[in-house]
Amino acid sequence: MDTLAAFIRDKQKPFNIAHRGASACLPENTLEAFDLAFSKFKVDMIEFDVHTSQDGIPVIIHDGRLERTTNSRGYVSAHSLARLKALDAGFHFSPSPSSFPFRGKGIQIPTLEEVLSRFPEQFLAVEIKEKDISCLHQVMALIEKYGAHPRCVVGSKHHTISQEMQQRYPSTLRFCSQREVVRLYFDFKTGKLESKKDPCAVASMPFQNCGIRFDDKGFIDYLHERRIPSFFWTVNDPELMKTLSLKKADGIITDYPARLREVLAQRSETALPDA
């Protein structure tokens, strides 16, 4: 199987990346949402979030607390894996007002090991939500156990995690921290070229934030010159999907992978008009 880095480089269209799995259709960050994304929507990759349980097990959940997605309260880190597994991860999912069709269906918070075991060949984007360096090492130990590092990109918005990734796991694709993405943008605006290359860096960012338009085609081109793929989140609008595709974004992270697949299939091959 090709490595993720080679696949990104050779792919003609942006990666279709399911945000927390097929999260518009099924409870986010669950095996069920991941299964649907790969089997029905044929996504290129799934993106998901990692925290650690009280007993140090990497689990798949976005928030540091349990209230938004489960039938419990408190911090993820204050509960053992056994306790987390007993919770209902579909409790609050509501595709329509006052409708909670996945309550009591046995949907659980998965572990990272379950995901790595269940999807032995698929591409995975692993977002570490904790600042604690130990979480990174636990994640990487499992990725190495399953031989998954050629098909994973791992990272965090936290700069300390990104720095540790560079130093300890230099051959694994790494999401840039928020600080690094902003620095790259201002290097682009000032015409600065950093001498040190980072062949494993991936810039994952919103299309705009705090007045900065990260979807500037010049910035995407600048990243490409530095061989840094550009992933954009969370993109659910079809017109923005099309625009990012025309600007040669490398990955689009979306709650609606079927919608993105349709946009990419219909994408015009005409050149992007000058801004």
Report the amino acid identity of residue 125. Answer: A
Cα 226 to Cα 187, 202, 213: the distances in Å are: 12, 11, 19
What confidence score (pLDDT) does residue 271 get? 43
For 201-217, how does the pLDDT look when each residue is reduced to its tens digit (9 = 90+)?
A: 999 999 999 899 999 99
Q: Which residue has the tokens 């989140």?
A: 233
pLDDT under 70: residue ranges of the chain = 1-2, 194-196, 268-275
Pairing of strands 152-155, 173-175: parallel
3-state helix, strand, coil in the chain (%, to 5): 35, 20, 45
Residue 3 has a pLDDT of 79
Per-residue pLDDT tens digits for 52-78 = 999 999 999 999 999 999 999 999 999
Radius of gyration over alpha carbons of the chain, in Å? 18
User: By the 8 A CB rule, do 111 and 118 touch?
Assistant: no
Contact present, 27 and 35 (Cβ < 8 Å) = no
For residue 272, what pLDDT is reported?
52
Token digits of residue 159:
């700069």
C-alpha atoms less than 13 angstroms from C-alpha of 268 in its C-beta half-sphere: 9
pLDDT value of position 97: 82
> For position 126, what pLDDT does the model report?
98
Residue 192 neighbours by CB distance under 10 Å: 10
State the Cα–Cα distance between residues 62 and 70, nearest whole angstrom: 11
